[in-house]
Structure 1
């Protein structure tokens, strides 16, 4: 073996363990659809091509470094994407890494801690226990909790610290706080989740007092109970949330129920939800559709929704689209 070959072999031996100790992964999802929509209370029907009707399009990078002794350092950088127009963010007001931007430590023995911008535990419970997942376009649960003026605060909190326990026989718990930093007050949340076999449940408490922008945000408090059971031939979902607007002194009772039925290589999805406020108009939303998987990473879907606010003309939406994960 000549000197150059020997040197190359030594470098390969020393570099191998270092490369094995850390990794960076690029990933994301693109969701595009065509359809028509008429908002509740509106007389205008809009025909459009849209990004993110079933899942908000996004891209991201995650990294893990093995620090030894079962301890690892992590980071996440994730940005939303409007693929229909080739723009970043869910809107022009989003920061570039609005979905996630955090660094942390994780251990199988004591759990994980992440600092920065983190997805809220209320959002995770909401999307994990309804038939339409994280669909802002078609999930009654997401629509009622996050876009109906019942709960304030985004699906992610900036300036936050999130602690999650290790998985203990299917149970995990978390504690979450977002520093106020002179913006009205801090946000706090706590949750417990149990998933074992076909059964799953989650309980979440959340307080929002941080304004987070130039426009003042109402203080809100919410309790959320979520459950699901997979019978194989059908998976059932149920959710209840009690959201209090502490600024306006209005209480909202939110009820959600859904099913996912395997049919062929896809699933028939259906979900019903309603909001019962202590003051103001109630809301009822139905969504039905079919989601067909061409592969583990690619699916096509057709969805229809009826959305009614008491005293206003009903709204109706329909979309056919495609999602690809990478």
Structure 2
């Protein structure tokens, strides 16, 4: 028996509406950041090099992320993010870097219980380090990022592979989390990483405390066992935002350690802001490193800015590297 034409149209309209409603419960977005500059790079005691650079203020990347509403305040979430070298178009931060080395994860998120993700996850230490310094996540110019991640102190990269991460919802301004990267083989070079973190944000004040214990980098690479503790805070006065960090890194494999401190400020000026950050890295044995960066970030729009940054990077007994960059950063 066939339905009348009017009934068939009603059924088709209902099915179409149901399809639209189902589609509205899921979302996928494409996003990223492109950073290019020209300038001078000089390591302490080294020769200055003038060049065009990708990602001096923020490492260029692109990503895809999405969520599906499963009902009851629970969603499935995923994220795939890849670094890119804009100077050549090559993927990754360096040759051999996996395509989705920035992030590759899938998990479940609950409004009341928090979020659990599996895969390659960004570490809480990296997030805390970029949040509580005036130069953010700049590997080129943030003293904090450079002292923790490019000066031979912490191990384990800014993201952990084979990991599971839990992040709580905000409870009275407080958040907490835990992470672990598992052994994947029985090889002696394979280890495991663990981390815990606590954060607070309410009004003008934000703060965080992070601990991590690292015994592996990637799937099964042998690296030094390092334990890092970092406390960070920021306070927004309106006319300026102030930053402070204090951390220690204990290298258990080499029986040595490092103290790292940092202070900074971001001052709104015109259509942008003046930023400044001072950091000092003091090892148990060896030369102290003092790094100071300052610059101006000028907003052309909400997504595009021009910048000029200077950095003095002094290693006691070796020399001072003098660096500068002028560039553009665009988010999409």
* 2:118 alignment counterpart: 115
Whether the 8 Å CA contact 2:143–2:279 is kept in 1: the answer is yes
**Matched residues in 2 for 1:110 and 1:179: separation?**
23
Partner of 2:179: 176
Mapped partners of 2:329, 2:160: distance in 1: 26
Return the alpha-carbon distance in structure 2 between the equivalents of residues 4 and 263 of structure 1.
63
1:185 aligns with 2:191: yes
Cα deviations by residue, 1:279-324 (Å, 9 ceiling, x for unpaired): 1111000101000111111111000000011111210110001111
Matching of residue 250 in structure 1 with residue 256 in structure 2 = yes
Describe the shift of the 1:205–1:294 C-alpha distance in structure 2 as closer, same or farther (beyond 3 A): same
Residues 210-229 of structure 1 aligned to structure 2 (within 5 Å):
210-212=216-218, 216-229=222-235
Contiguous gaps of at least 5 residues in structure 1:
none
Aligned counterpart in structure 2 of residue 25 of structure 1, from 24, 29, 38: 29
Question: Match of 1:210, SS?
Answer: strand
Work out the CA distance in 2 between the residues paired with 1:196 and 1:81: 35
SS, match of residue 166 in structure 2: strand
The aligned counterpart of 1:144 is 147
Name which of 166, 169, 190 aligns with 2:169. Answer: 166
Is residue 275 of structure 2 the alignment partner of residue 269 of structure 1? yes
CA distance in 2, matches of 1:218, 1:318: 32
Is contact 2:190-2:219 (8 Å) kept?
no
| Cα RMSD after superposing both structures | 1.4
The alpha carbon displacement at 1:203 in A equals 0.1
Which is worse superposed, 144-153 or 178-187? 178-187
Cα distance in 1 between the residues matched to 2:105 and 2:217: 21
Shift of 1:32: 0.5
User: How far apart are residue 108 of structure 1 and its match?
Assistant: 1.1
CA distance in 1 between partners of 2:10 and 2:51 (Å)? 63
Q: How does 1:14-93 map to 2 (within 5 A)?
A: 14-42=18-46, 44-93=47-96
How big is each residue's C-alpha offset from its partner over 1:214-254, in whole Å with a ceiling of 9 and x where there is no partner? 76311100100000000000110000110011111111000
Residue 10 of structure 1 aligns with which residue? Answer: 14
Q: CA deviation at 1:4?
A: 7.6
Cα deviation, residue 49, structure 1: 0.7
Q: Indicate the SS of the match to 1:125.
A: helix
Shift of residue 45 of structure 1? 1.3
Q: Classify the secondary structure of the residue corresponding to 1:122.
A: helix
Larger Cα-atom Rg: 2
Of 293, 300, 304, the match for 1:298: 304
| Counterpart in the other structure of 2:205 | 199
Distance across 2 between alignment mates of 1:271 and 1:231: 17
Q: Per the alignment, do residues 223 and 314 of structure 1 end up closer, same or farther by CA in structure 2, a change over 3 Å counting?
A: same
Residue 310 of structure 1 corresponds to which residue in structure 2? 316
Q: Which runs of 5+ in 2 are unaligned?
A: none
Normalised by the length of structure 1, the TM-score is 0.97
4+ residue segments displaced more than 4 Å = 1-8
Post-superposition offset of 1:5: 5.3
1:125 corresponds, among 112, 123, 128, to: 128
The change in CA–CA distance for 1:245 and 1:179 in structure 2 (over 3 A counts) is same
Deviations 1:20-76 (A, max 9, x none): 11110110000010111111121x211111110011110000010000011100000
